[in-house]
Structure 1
Amino acid sequence: MACAVAFSSAAVAQAQWPERPVRVVVPFPAGGATDLIARVVTQQVAQNLGQQMLIENKAGAGGTIGSGEVAKAAPDGQTILFTTSSTHAISPHLMPRLSYDAGKDFIPVAHVADAPSVLLVTPSLPVKTVAELVAYAKANPGKLNYATSGNGTIVHLNTAAFSAQAGIEMTHVPYKGTALAIPDLVTGQVHVLFDSLPTGMPHVNSGKVRALGVTSEKRTTLAPELPTIGESGLPGFASVTWFGVYLPAGASPALVERVNQAFNQAVQSPEVKASLAKLGVDAAATGTPAQFAAMVKADSARWGNVIRQHKITIQ
């Protein structure tokens, strides 16, 4: 009887979630992409639920510090992790001594948004399509290099996957952020860069660099004039940085479903979609926790293969 009463009380509490302000941990610095996206979405969640959602930035070690903290939190829905593919699909393959197990210490709850990248080339390169870039690289082995925001970053992994599928080789030139690489791309000191849409497209629009395609599976509404890389000669190539919500392991199915519904509802708001578009991301379609989990699993397997194949490290 006592167990039944306890279960009933828990079910009531979950149905009434949230009864007090919810702590939303963003494991990246304030003002960064993940933080800005989290603030747009959680503000709408808070408005819909009539309860505060308090953003707490716990940055460090590529998002793994804040993620590790949430992994140890009580699974009562009062602490939520708002994160990206970096912490759950990439870092586990690059950082073997993580303070958390991405697959066991969390429950995937909701897929919120996707940020595609754009393939940029220096304007002095005589190519205007992905197919022409691949043909040029094959005809001029060893002549092309590519910029990234550092070893093991999504920019690095995107280029490694692209090069492998295209059957080309380029020299890696790591920078401390893509913003530092843009001036060298403009002048032709580096030739290729996969950049985020919001930071890359202003340079395209000004004519300083050339865009060849986007990494999304379908053409993005953020730059509908650009073809996908998949439709430009590399069938099946697709890569986005996803953003999503996790609860600590142990959260009940009822609570997971309620949080999922709250975030799905917020993301489908026209105002949220418009705000996300201004940040250079596409709002995700409504989905279940199981669908989000399957997507993360596939993404993690893919990046794990790329990291092993290219012997990528962050040392």
Structure 2
Amino acid sequence: MKNVILPRRRALILTGGALAAPMLAPMIATGVARAADEWPNKPVKYIVVFPAGGPTDTLSRIVCHELEKLTNQQFIIDNKSGSGGVVGAEAIARSAPDGYTIGLYTIAAHAIAPTLYTKLPFDAGKDFTGIAILWEVPNMLMTRLDFPANTVPEMIALLKANPGKYSFASSGAGTSPQITGEMFKSMAGVNILHVPYRGSAPAHQDILAGQVDMMFDNIPGPLGLMKGGKVKAFAVTSKERHPAAPDVPAMAEFLPGFEITSWGGVCGPAGLPPAMVTRLSELLKQALESAALKEAFDKQGATRRWLNPADTAAYRADNEKRLAPIIKASGAKVE
């Protein structure tokens, strides 16, 4: 092979670059760490993957309010709803990994959707950086006020005697309320029609108007309607009765093994610098420990649940694995 002789100027550039690389690496690392320490130095977009006014949106706004107090920066809520949270989750996955677009980490988009949807525009395990899990919320089964049953056994008997006659609402295809309804159908052996809505608020309106018969939904919404005497509450989906509604039985009292809990947290796109993830995680933990947030969460029926970034990723993966056979057994599928 012939020796390759480089022009002197190019040789000097290449040699200089090789010598500079080891010196630049610490400088780059220092710059990333400084950026994390200074985050945020401008407003942060926070994508909520469900419509405004629903229970998850409310909890997200409470968290963002606490973050604003801790950082003296704006956290601007951007509601991107649709397809059970998939639309908003895709927006998070495609955002720049700079910490200025983060958003809601949910059971629907990140643990249910991978099994429920035949095709997703993202990989729930690879395209996100899980930052923290912040809360768990059971669902509550409510019905219109004039529903002709008053207990879960009476409801199951009624539904079995009238297959296909009654309907259940959800906050959207692929959401936790839908999967909870499908789980109920499968375990109770009943046939009820699924009616998806774009969020909880319009579904609640139709429950009150008698346009749809029943709904599993995150406990804050049904709890308020129940206390206002506007709906009947039949059961909660946590393993045991919920302290916010101690007189409402757990569904597991009638259908052993029936347990499903919605959860929410914060995530960003894949590739967020580890130092920034740590900074975000620590701020979220501080927010979660505030007395104001605890009081607000209690009013919403949400249980605070803190998980660090590593445990957050494992929790999501475990939920996907646990729910997959339930979803498959229900026969539910979204194209």
> Smaller-chain TM-score range?
0.7 to 0.9
User: Kindly tell me: are residues 170 and 191 of structure 1, through their superposed partners in 2, closer, same or farther at Cα, counting changes over 3 Å?
Assistant: farther
CA deviation digits over 1:59-78, x for unaligned, max 9? 34443333222212232322
Question: Contact conserved, 2:118 with 2:334, CA < 8 A, in 1?
Answer: no
C-alpha change, 1:164 and 1:21, in structure 2 (3 Å) is same
Secondary structure of 2:36's partner? helix
Query: 1:217 & 1:115 partners in 2: Cα distance?
Result: 12
> Which of residues 238, 258, 269 in structure 2 aligns to 1:237?
258
Q: Tell me the distance in 2 between the aligned counterparts of 1:148 and 1:55.
A: 26
Determine the C-alpha separation between the residues in 2 that align with 1:106 and 1:81. Answer: 10
Among candidates 320, 329, 333, match of residue 300 of structure 1: 320
- The separation in 2 between residues aligned to 1:206 and 1:73, in whole angstroms, is 41
**What corresponds to 1:269 in structure 2?**
290
| Corresponding residue for residue 43 of structure 2 | 21
AA aligned to 1:51 is Q
State the secondary structure of the residue aligned to 2:184. helix
**Alpha-carbon distance, 1:12 to partner:** 2.8
Q: Which aligned runs of 4 or more in structure 1 are off by greater than 6 angstroms?
A: none
Kept in 2: contact 1:145–1:173 (CA 8 A): no
Select the residue among 34, 39, 43 that pairs with 1:12: 34
* Compared CA separation, residues 126 and 19, structure 1 to 2 (3 A): closer
What is the identity, as a one-letter code, of the residue corresponding to 2:67? V
Partners in 1 of 2:128 and 2:207 — Cα distance?
37
TM-score calculated relative to the size of structure 2: 0.78
Deviation at 1:108, TM superposition (A): 1.0
Question: Match for residue 164 of structure 1?
Answer: 186
Contact 1:45 1:262 (C-alpha < 8 Å) held by counterparts: yes
- Take 1:229 and 1:275, find their aligned partners in 2: how far apart are those partners? 26
Which of the numbers 153, 178, 182 marks the counterpart of 2:203?
A: 178
Asked whether the 8 Å contact 2:137–2:301 carries over to 1, the reply is yes
Partner of 2:129: 107
The one-letter code matched in structure 1 to 2:286 is: Q
SS in 1 for 2:306: coil
Q: In the alignment, which residue of structure 1 is the partner of 2:7?
A: none
Opposite residue 174 of structure 1, the aligned amino acid is V
Question: Hey, what does 1:310 align to over in structure 2?
Answer: 330
- Whether 1:42 aligns to 2:64 is yes
Cα distance, 1:90 vs structure 2: 2.3
Contact 1:273-1:282 at 8 Å conserved across structures: no
* Cα RMSD, aligned residues only: 3.0
2:15 alignment counterpart: none
Q: If you compute each CA radius of gyration, which structure gives the higher value, 1 or 2?
A: 2
Mapped to 2, the partners of 1:66 and 1:143 lie a distance apart of 33
Among 253, 274, 277, the residue aligned to 1:253: 274
* Structure 2 alignment gaps of length 5 or more: 1-21
CA offset at residue 19 of structure 1?
3.1
Secondary structure of 1:51 counterpart: coil
1:77-132 CA distances to partner (integer Å, 9 max, x unpaired)? 2221224222212233333433221110101111122332112356654553x456
Percent identity among equivalent residues? 33
* Matched position secondary structure for 1:10: helix
Query: Counterparts of 2:87 and 2:159 in 1: how far apart (Å)?
Result: 40
